[in-house]
Amino acid sequence: MRTNQKGAPHSSVHTMINFDAYKILLDTPTSCDKYPAKQHARNVARRLGASRGLIFLSGEPTINLRDSDQSQPFRQRRYFYYLSGVDEPDCSLTYDIEQDLLTLYVPDFDLHRAIWMGPTISLEDAQDRYDVDRVQYHASLKHELQVWLDKREQSSELYLLHKSERPETLPKDLPVDLNTLAPAMNAARGIKDEYEIRMIRKANEVSGLAHRKILESIRSFSNESQIEGSFLNTCISHGARNQAYNIIAASGPNAAVLHYGRNNETLHKKPLVCLDAGAEWNCYASDVTRTFPLAGEWPSEYVRDIYKLVERMQEETIRRIGKGVRYRALHDLAHDIAIEGLLALGVLKGASHEVRESGASKVFFPHGLGHHVGLEVHDVAEGEIMAFGGGVTRPNWACGYLSPCTLLAPLLEEGMVVTVEPGLYFSPLALDNARKQPYAKYIDFDVAEKYVHIGGVRIEDDILVTATGYENLTTAPKGDKMLAVIRGSA
Ligand code: GLY
Ligand code: MN
């Protein structure tokens, strides 16, 4: 617990009845406000199923840009943050499972670095700030690992995420487990606790403000770059210095590029903007997409019809979220709704079950319905690493994270946070490729071409699975409210 050192010296009478001190204590943060690193360590040990052993994790080091004396922007390693709550470079940690002892190692004091960059954290400050049992300087790590080694029982292993992290000082025959720590940490990270939910909620609050500000300003903007600039301005001004991912400010046909990033084209004559942007709060992500017209009214039936269809895909899937639900079923439902809607618009043709089996709808909805959100925007969770979003062009493309859209993904559980982000896109590249595929007969390319100028529509919210259903954590306006904000009537 931190104490306020700034109070006036107390007289002896004051010392006996020191109301000021009580006030200070009530105002200061309690240990409950610390990032719950110790609880996370215990959860991971439980999921490892181990009663002894040592987890060793290094944080992200300071790294210079190639051929430069400037450092790369620092981004803490998420597995390390999960067990420490420390967002500083050059730290590491151990967790002795048997002793239930979490030790943080901070950088040794370096006078040169302190003069140029400011001092690194002291032992006292680190002990005060973080939920760890002990804090030591990096210099003691080698010796402490040796002490653990000397005392350890035969069955006690060293748990690492990667072979390359094996401390050089340890003997070669030491049993090292490289396989079970990552799945245990992924499973633990997939279920968010109250503290983590608070961070994701706060990240969403800031993103909501930033999205709203753009809706309020869009009529005066003439280029995508102003959207990006405004988003960053609001986030940073509200204390969210980092984005959870690169901002996608895609107008018109650019919206067909799922991860468009140039953000520098004119808005002139564009029917809509697809803005996918989310702030980060204390390393926790938000992931929010809104698609909107520039003047607060849908410029044509084409645009409105696609927006309404995506809106229905999102509403119908969000309202079914709850514990015990198979997320993959919602992904399939979103496809069914898309197929029904695109058949009605004449973009698709044929019997709906044949269209579904052919995979033709993936030309227009090529990514998963969503993903977990947490320390990563595409967060980890329990399960196997599977292909996600490969769609029709790269069916085996594995993005390296654990998608809830796969058939093998565990059912939704209370405490999971997932995005629901259906989209429909009219990519000339995807359409050209589709012409050569067996499912081409289910697509009316003449009709589809009429939508190419739209680019695409995506709507994305972050949804918490609760004990009784779900809670939408995303506060950015959408639908009619969003249009009203653009028009200045909300
Ligand atoms: N918001 C970016 C993505 O989910 O891929
Ligand atoms: Mn997303």
Residue pLDDT, tens place only, 256-267: 999 999 999 999
Task: Report whether pLDDT(6) > 80.
Answer: no
Q: How far apart are CA 213 and CA 215, in angstroms?
A: 5
Q: Which amino acid is at 105?
A: Y
Q: Which atom of ligand 1 is nearest to the CA of 276?
A: 1
Beta bridge pairs of residue 103: 94, 134
Q: 174 falls in which pLDDT band (50, 70, 90)?
A: confident
Give, for 417, the enclosing helix (H) or strand (E).
strand 417-420
User: Domain map of the chain by residue range?
Assistant: 2-31, 35-189, 191-487
Inter-CA distances, 229 with 36, 185, 210, 221, 241, Å = 34, 36, 10, 11, 13
Question: In testing the pocket of ligand 1, which one of 379, 421, 425, 461 has its CB within 8 Å of the most ligand atoms?
Answer: 421
Q: What is the edge-to-edge ordering of all strands in the sheet holding 92-96? A: 134-137, 101-106, 92-96, 54-58, 158-159, 176-177
Alpha carbon of 369 to ligand 2 centroid (Å): 9
Alpha carbon of 421 to ligand 2 centroid (Å): 6
Alpha carbon of 378 to ligand 1 centroid (Å): 7
Q: How far apart are CA 20 and CA 185, in angstroms?
A: 44
Give, for 485, the enclosing helix (H) or strand (E).
helix 479-487
Residues 422-473 have pLDDT tens digits of 999 999 999 999 999 999 999 999 999 999 999 999 999 999 999 999 999 9
Q: Which atom of ligand 1 is nearest to the CA of 288?
A: 1
With a Cβ cut-off of 6 Å, ligand 1 is lined by 245, 276, 287
Residue the block writes with tokens 């959860």? 43
Q: What is the mean pLDDT of the chain?
A: 91
Q: How is residue 206 written in tokens?
A: 């800031």
Residues 307-338 have pLDDT tens digits of 999 999 999 999 999 999 999 999 999 999 99
Q: Which atom of ligand 1 is nearest to the CA of 378?
A: 4
425, 256 in Cβ contact below 8 A? yes
Residue-wise DSSP of 27-81: HSPPGGGS--HHHHHHHHHHHHT-SS-EEEEE-PPP-BPTTSSSBPPP---HHHH
Alpha carbon of 131 to ligand 2 centroid (Å): 31
**Percent with pLDDT over 70 in the chain:** 90
Q: Which atom of ligand 1 is nearest to the CA of 421?
A: 4
Alpha carbon of 352 to ligand 1 centroid (Å): 29
Alpha carbon of 218 to ligand 1 centroid (Å): 22
Topology, domain 191-487? Creatine Amidinohydrolase (3.90.230)
Confidence (pTM): 0.91
Inter-CA distances, 106 with 2, 11, 58, 160, 188, Å = 20, 38, 11, 19, 25
Question: In testing the pocket of ligand 1, which one of 289, 365, 401, 418 has its CB within 8 Å of the most ligand atoms?
Answer: 289
Topology, domain 35-189? Creatine Amidinohydrolase; Chain A, domain 1 (3.40.350)
Question: In testing the pocket of ligand 1, which one of 211, 257, 259 has its CB within 8 Å of the most ligand atoms?
Answer: 259
Residues 348-393 have pLDDT tens digits of 999 999 999 999 999 999 999 999 999 999 999 998 554 444 444 4
100, 134 in Cβ contact below 8 A? no
Helices (H), 155-271: 181-190, 194-217, 224-237
